[in-house]
Structure 1
Amino acid sequence: MSQSNQKDVITLSEVAKRVPRLLKKLPHVLNGLILANDTRASKPMGLGWAFEKTVRQNPYGKAILYKETELNYVQFNEWINQISHFFLSKGLQKGDVVAVFVENRPELLATVVALAKIGVTAALVNTAQTGKVLCHSINLVQPRAIVVGAEVQSSLHEVLENLDVNKQEVYWFADQDTLKDAGTAPAGYQNLASIIQQYPSFNPPTTNSVYFADGLFYIYTSGTTGLPKAVIFTHGRWMRAYGTYGHIMDLNQHDVMYVTLPFYHATAMVVCWAAVLAGGSALAIRRKFSAREFWADVQRFDASAIGYVGELCRYLLETPATSMDKDHRVTKMIGNGMRPTIWNKFKQRFGVEEVMELYASSEGNVGFSNIFNFDNTVGFSPTPYAIVQFDKEKNQPIKDSKGRFIKVKTGETGLLIGKITKRAPFDGYTDPEKNKSVVFENVFKKGDRYFNTGDLVRDIGYRHAQFVDRLGDTFRWKGENVSTTEVENLVAEHPKISEAVVYGVEIPNTNGRAGMCAITPHEGDSITESDYAELLSFFQQNMPAYAVPVFLRIQKQMETTGTFKYQKNTLKTQAFDPSKTDETILAWLPGEKQYCVVTPDIHANIQASKYRF
């Protein structure tokens, strides 16, 4: 093994050193593992069941903190139950779907638990979506009803006529504390906060009729067809996260977790909230992340733990040092995407002792968590998996002479695949054909089946791994998965653009990959400096901010392979370096309102991290 491959490899002695600290958590962890591994088909379980359990254990403890709102578990539960009883009265039942389109605030969480208690699946619609993408996401899951917050009601209203939903079943929450003031709903919308006041606040009996295989949420991921996919997240799968990540975090009734991540993603909705409920702790939330106000909020809410993604940590490190950096009681954090280059810097500057880095995907069946608190790892996995040799050029696993996959050695990088078993099922997508495309069969022996995560990871020993890169037609930027095909389709709608090829490129000292798009004008047309502002405006109007290409490359003709596939490898290699091509490269620099030409000086400044992307 080379010296470079020795870095971060875990030894038995290092594991042994960390066992005493883990033993202190052991009773809580073992209790969680029992819950996580209970796959009985007829046992009541899931988010509603776990929430009611926490209410019984800590009825008057703080449950939700948001701005000036503070609710204990009894108060929060009574509100939730009123929403549950209302939807029961409308005839909603197990198997139905309600699209929930609300930004981070108590109304969102109350609605999700209310639906969970009656076995109705909540489609967690990304609140950054607009237009065609929003319309597709909602219609894809065929909802019986929609719950929308006033803060995103205009986006919904633009597509409402094209939605396959009863227009009498669109429910609205005012953008305020609706327990104190329900507000006045706009014409054509039902005021949910007002309606529920006449409904009972006791637990609905249906909570105990929700089981392992019942749907809890739809979470949206980027689709290779150009539009989001809806991934079903069952109550049984939520219980696995609750039993593992939730109990390993080892919070208690004196803890407060501060979360600014969007709750339409699993990191916040599943991992962070599961840890809070497992400990009977308080959840403090903010509408959107603010680096400037982050530690002030931590102090105000007296938080002891935080939820994170790597980009959030990088932004916090870029803020000027203040007395608040360690003037708080945060010692634990849970999330994903913490880069090795900032891992120790973050812990030292902000006084964090435990980084509960984890690996999971909305659709996958394999998970890792940093239970031993090692640095620079997604942690340990108790679920069956393999890391196999992968040929990047051919974009496929390498096989031996018998047609079987080959596992990598410790210290090496390969494709992560999760074995599909009864305890680790693959719940799948709404599209059956997509399900087939991500399952490998006869991997190590005849009849075995493995889920293809599409991620390259490094085996660092003792069932620990490091995340390396994501394969396929998506890349991650600003904490979001960006679909290359989706962006290509939207870019190509511009009247001057004939073809578009989207790919992710690395910017030094940022997390993930920034979007870059090679564009070809229509024949006889051209893109000039007078178009640079209009191009950016067009993209901003038609896609979420995180999906807007940071770089453009203007080509006369798109280079393709013999099978008419775009030559993305060359484009990725040349990236946004003007010295590697004669073609014009544009950049959307931070704070600017139009694209500008990337000169050698601008390229050097980007490489030197003089811009804050």
Structure 2
Amino acid sequence: MSRTPSDAITWGMMLRKLPAIARAVPRIVKGMKLANVQDPSQPCGLGWCFEQATQRNPQGPALLYGDTVLSYAQVNAQANRIAHYLQAQGIGKGDCVAVFLENRPQLLITVLAVAKVGAVSAMINTSQTGDALVHSLALVAPVAVVVGDERVAVFNDVRGRTALSEARTWWVADQENAAAARGFVDLISNSEQYPGDNPASSQQVFLNDPCFYLYTSGTTGLPKAGVFRHGRWMRTATSFGLIALDMQPEDIVYCTLPLYHATGLCVCWGAAVCGASGFVIRRKFSASQFWNDVRRYRATTLGYVGELCRYLVDQPESGTDRQHAVTKMIGNGLRPGAWAAFKTRFGVGHICELYAASDGNIGFTNILNFDNTVGFSLMGWELVQYDHDSGAPLRNLQGRMQKVPKGEPGLLLARIDDKAPLDGYTDAAKTEKTVCRDVFAPGDRYFNTGDLLRNIGFGHGQFVDRLGDTYRWKGENVSTTEVENVLLQHSQICEAVAYGVAVSGTNGRAGMAAITPSESLATLDFSELLQFLRCKLPGYAVPLFLRIKVKMETTGTFKYQKTRLKAEGFDPCLAGDEPIYAWLPDTATYVRVDRQLATQIQGGQYRY
């Protein structure tokens, strides 16, 4: 499937950016010096950064939540008291502390305290329960756990399956004056009498020391725990806070993203700390309250991910849509279909789309504010040819991988070197599976991202798809992202998820899409929809099956959960009360699939 020509970045477009480039050069140079800490004995990382921000803006707002406003000096002192208490309880450098709290200031204060000690926070996904929670804890072998009152019942369900002692099972209240849960130690009240000055240990944290364990989403299996080191925290906070966004003390970041993931915790909070800026957090994302919050807190910067922006575009229009102070936003996963609509409606000048993975070693950033791109990377990367069935990169007769032509989708490989080390997972064997060796020359090493990008000019990348989300039909490769973008151009569709499903007697995977109508199923004209798709997509990419959903299921970072949809396919018995429709050969509309029709299709009565 081909790229839209207007997405290509031309010489003329670059020339128009020269003034912006000239203004950015000084901070890029400064940022690169700060970000690339090379001296293994130089203090750096989260604790060090926060202490620097506190010196720069001690009385400025650091954390804002509901009616609570905490200054940098207040947050730093609270974190220091907890850090001194943790040390008194025997928590030291390199120890793992599991953190199981929902979005609120105590979460970030606890994480900051753990970082100052030189220990490692395992950021447990707060939606996890049962076996998945036990698995996530076992992966990192924590010596202690901090549990928010709101997650006590869930933790108690698995407590007997962990090796954590009661003395190191800390509790954090969710309401004022609440009593500690039975079998837990109150972290905040027990640390109140400890000193509020910076612990000496925060000066003994260096670039190679781990800061967090961040978990993959686990949508295709149990989660893996990726290592996020303090040197990478420096690169992330500086790259986004200084180089990309030029954050200042008067800036306020509004972030409703879950803080157990890297975009919220490292990109958004890191950018705020880098600028000594304010950071607004909310327990859960609310599309209806989003802009009211933005105005209330006088936010200048937004954090976003996945489908969040589309949810905002789908809200009813208001005369106050542009009444805010936001000039810039940072995040990932903004689709081209929503990009222009969001920018136009809400008047946000700079969309700083990024590409990164918590378990990888490369990041792209849209510093120059082009549309529909993740920007460029200062790290070494290549796009290579891959096998469309297995997803593995292809090698030629000489055993080397082959680069794709400019503008063509290719598998993104990121060079592993001193400038871009690969921290990988807590499981070394899983890390090794992601490493490609002898790629272009003997001895070189590259990280296989598993993602497809294209180079749209001047080193700028455009995200195409996750490798597992592409499928092959009629000998052609179909990008689910591009199918979804076309579906979302239709006025009667507000959400769309595309994927491939198996049809007996055919090769590859047939296209299927789960869609949510903008109004109702009754108003959806299937003949007109099919005609629309056939005009916009190559024949092989037009979905053969549609599944109608009232609401899509998403992960905590607003990514669609495709695994179950793929497994259930077009079987109406598995879809429950969600109707399935099929485009049968030599017809001009979609028809409802019942059990008999599904059996006929799988029995080969229709030749696809």
TM-score range, shorter chain: 0.7 to 0.9
2:297 is matched with: 301
Aligned mates of 1:114, 1:460 — CA distance in 2: 43
| 3-state DSSP of counterpart to 1:77 | helix
Aligned mates of 1:424, 1:234 — CA distance in 2: 12
1:206 is matched with: 201
Aligned mates of 2:211, 2:152 — CA distance in 1: 24
Aligned 8 A contact 1:46 1:239 in 2: yes
Q: Does 1:598 align with 2:580?
A: yes
Aligned 8 A contact 1:585 1:598 in 2: no
Q: Spell out, residue by residue over 1:568-587, the C-alpha distance to the aligned partner (whole angstroms, 9 max, x if none).
A: 8xx79xx54xxxxxx43544
Aligned 8 A contact 1:517 1:549 in 2: no
Would the alpha carbon gap of residues 17 and 421 (structure 1) be closer, same or farther in structure 2, given more than 3 Å must change?
same
Aligned mates of 1:412, 1:457 — CA distance in 2: 8
CA deviation after TM superposition for structure 1 residue 204, in Å? 0.5
1:243 is matched with: 238
Q: Does 1:438 align with 2:420?
A: no
Q: Spell out, residue by residue over 1:59-109, the C-alpha distance to the aligned partner (whole angstroms, 9 max, x if none).
A: 111111100100111111111111111101111111100000001100000
Q: Spell out, residue by residue over 1:91-129, the C-alpha distance to the aligned partner (whole angstroms, 9 max, x if none).
A: 111110000000110000000111111100000000000
Q: Spell out, residue by residue over 1:149-190, the C-alpha distance to the aligned partner (whole angstroms, 9 max, x if none).
A: 1111111111011012112211111113xxxx3521111011
Q: Does 1:351 align with 2:347?
A: yes
CA deviation after TM superposition for structure 1 residue 13, in Å? 3.2
Would the alpha carbon gap of residues 113 and 228 (structure 1) be closer, same or farther in structure 2, given more than 3 Å must change?
same
Aligned mates of 2:58, 2:168 — CA distance in 1: 33
Q: Spell out, residue by residue over 1:483-542, the C-alpha distance to the aligned partner (whole angstroms, 9 max, x if none).
A: xxxxxxxxxxxxxxxxxxxx9997643778479999xxxxxxxxxxxxxxxxxxxxx9xx
Aligned mates of 1:165, 1:3 — CA distance in 2: 54
Q: Does 1:373 align with 2:361?
A: no
Would the alpha carbon gap of residues 182 and 56 (structure 1) be closer, same or farther in structure 2, given more than 3 Å must change?
farther
Q: Spell out, residue by residue over 1:285-342, the C-alpha distance to the aligned partner (whole angstroms, 9 max, x if none).
A: 1001000000000011111110001310010000001122111011100000010111
Would the alpha carbon gap of residues 234 and 335 (structure 1) be closer, same or farther in structure 2, given more than 3 Å must change?
same
Would the alpha carbon gap of residues 225 and 465 (structure 1) be closer, same or farther in structure 2, given more than 3 Å must change?
closer
1:391 is matched with: 387
Would the alpha carbon gap of residues 422 and 3 (structure 1) be closer, same or farther in structure 2, given more than 3 Å must change?
closer
Q: Which amino acid aligns with 1:338?
A: L
The 5-angstrom pairing of residues 463-612 of structure 1 reads 463-472=459-468, 508-509=487-488, 513=497, 575-576=569-570, 583-584=571-572, 586-587=574-575, 595-598=577-580
CA deviation after TM superposition for structure 1 residue 598, in Å? 2.7
Q: Which amino acid aligns with 1:213?
A: N
Aligned 8 A contact 2:469 2:499 in 1: no
Aligned mates of 1:444, 1:547 — CA distance in 2: 34
The 5-angstrom pairing of residues 222-261 of structure 1 reads 222=217, 226-247=221-242, 248-261=244-257
2:281 is matched with: 285
Would the alpha carbon gap of residues 283 and 406 (structure 1) be closer, same or farther in structure 2, given more than 3 Å must change?
same
| 3-state DSSP of counterpart to 1:324 | coil
1:493 is matched with: none
Aligned mates of 1:39, 1:513 — CA distance in 2: 43
Q: Which amino acid aligns with 1:9?
A: A
CA deviation after TM superposition for structure 1 residue 405, in Å? 0.9
| 3-state DSSP of counterpart to 2:307 | helix
Q: Which amino acid aligns with 2:208?
A: A
Q: Which amino acid aligns with 2:121?
A: A
Aligned mates of 1:403, 1:224 — CA distance in 2: 33
The 5-angstrom pairing of residues 102-117 of structure 1 reads 102-117=101-116
CA deviation after TM superposition for structure 1 residue 366, in Å? 1.2
Q: Spell out, residue by residue over 1:24-60, the C-alpha distance to the aligned partner (whole angstroms, 9 max, x if none).
A: 3433332221111122111100000000000000111
11-20 or 358-367, which moves further after superposition? 11-20
CA deviation after TM superposition for structure 1 residue 546, in Å? 8.0
Q: Does 1:154 align with 2:149?
A: no
Would the alpha carbon gap of residues 405 and 195 (structure 1) be closer, same or farther in structure 2, given more than 3 Å must change?
same
Aligned mates of 2:162, 2:3 — CA distance in 1: 54
Q: Spell out, residue by residue over 1:407-426, the C-alpha distance to the aligned partner (whole angstroms, 9 max, x if none).
A: 11111100000000011001
Aligned mates of 1:230, 1:546 — CA distance in 2: 20
Would the alpha carbon gap of residues 309 and 66 (structure 1) be closer, same or farther in structure 2, given more than 3 Å must change?
same
Aligned mates of 2:16, 2:440 — CA distance in 1: 34
Aligned mates of 1:231, 1:200 — CA distance in 2: 33
Aligned mates of 1:61, 1:273 — CA distance in 2: 15
Aligned 8 A contact 2:307 2:558 in 1: no
Q: Which amino acid aligns with 1:82?
A: R
1:36 is matched with: 35
Q: Which amino acid aligns with 2:113?
A: A
Would the alpha carbon gap of residues 125 and 513 (structure 1) be closer, same or farther in structure 2, given more than 3 Å must change?
farther
| 3-state DSSP of counterpart to 2:320 | helix
TM-score by length of 1: 0.80
| 3-state DSSP of counterpart to 1:284 | strand
Q: Spell out, residue by residue over 1:246-265, the C-alpha distance to the aligned partner (whole angstroms, 9 max, x if none).
A: 21211211111100000000
Aligned mates of 2:134, 2:557 — CA distance in 1: 18
Q: Which amino acid aligns with 1:52?
A: E
2:529 is matched with: none
Q: Which amino acid aligns with 1:61?
A: G
Would the alpha carbon gap of residues 513 and 232 (structure 1) be closer, same or farther in structure 2, given more than 3 Å must change?
farther
Aligned 8 A contact 1:408 1:459 in 2: no
Aligned 8 A contact 1:130 1:544 in 2: no
Would the alpha carbon gap of residues 142 and 383 (structure 1) be closer, same or farther in structure 2, given more than 3 Å must change?
same
| 3-state DSSP of counterpart to 2:7 | coil
- Determine which of 314, 319, 326 is the counterpart of 2:322: 326
CA deviation after TM superposition for structure 1 residue 393, in Å? 2.1
Q: Does 1:141 align with 2:140?
A: yes
Aligned mates of 1:227, 1:18 — CA distance in 2: 44
Aligned 8 A contact 1:182 1:194 in 2: no
Unaligned runs of 5+ in 2: 472-479, 489-493, 503-551, 584-588, 593-608
Aligned 8 A contact 2:95 2:120 in 1: yes
CA deviation after TM superposition for structure 1 residue 364, in Å? 0.6
How much identity, in percent, do the aligned residues show? Answer: 46
1:164 is matched with: 163
- Determine which of 351, 354, 360 is the counterpart of 2:356: 360
Aligned 8 A contact 1:307 1:335 in 2: yes
Aligned mates of 1:219, 1:87 — CA distance in 2: 21
Q: Which amino acid aligns with 2:277?
A: S
Aligned 8 A contact 2:258 2:557 in 1: no
| 3-state DSSP of counterpart to 1:362 | coil
Aligned mates of 1:597, 1:340 — CA distance in 2: 28
1:411 is matched with: 407
Aligned mates of 1:391, 1:423 — CA distance in 2: 29
Q: Which amino acid aligns with 2:441?
A: K
| 3-state DSSP of counterpart to 1:584 | coil
CA deviation after TM superposition for structure 1 residue 12, in Å? 3.1
Aligned mates of 1:327, 1:225 — CA distance in 2: 41
Aligned mates of 2:57, 2:22 — CA distance in 1: 25
Unaligned runs of 5+ in 1: 476-502, 519-539, 554-567, 577-582, 588-593, 607-613
Q: Which amino acid aligns with 1:203?
A: N
Would the alpha carbon gap of residues 283 and 552 (structure 1) be closer, same or farther in structure 2, given more than 3 Å must change?
closer
Q: Spell out, residue by residue over 1:534-571, the C-alpha distance to the aligned partner (whole angstroms, 9 max, x if none).
A: xxxxxx9xx99989978978xxxxxxxxxxxxxx8xx7
Q: Spell out, residue by residue over 1:190-217, the C-alpha distance to the aligned partner (whole angstroms, 9 max, x if none).
A: 1112111111111101111000000100
1:218 is matched with: 213
Aligned mates of 2:368, 2:561 — CA distance in 1: 39
Aligned 8 A contact 1:145 1:165 in 2: yes
Would the alpha carbon gap of residues 184 and 514 (structure 1) be closer, same or farther in structure 2, given more than 3 Å must change?
farther
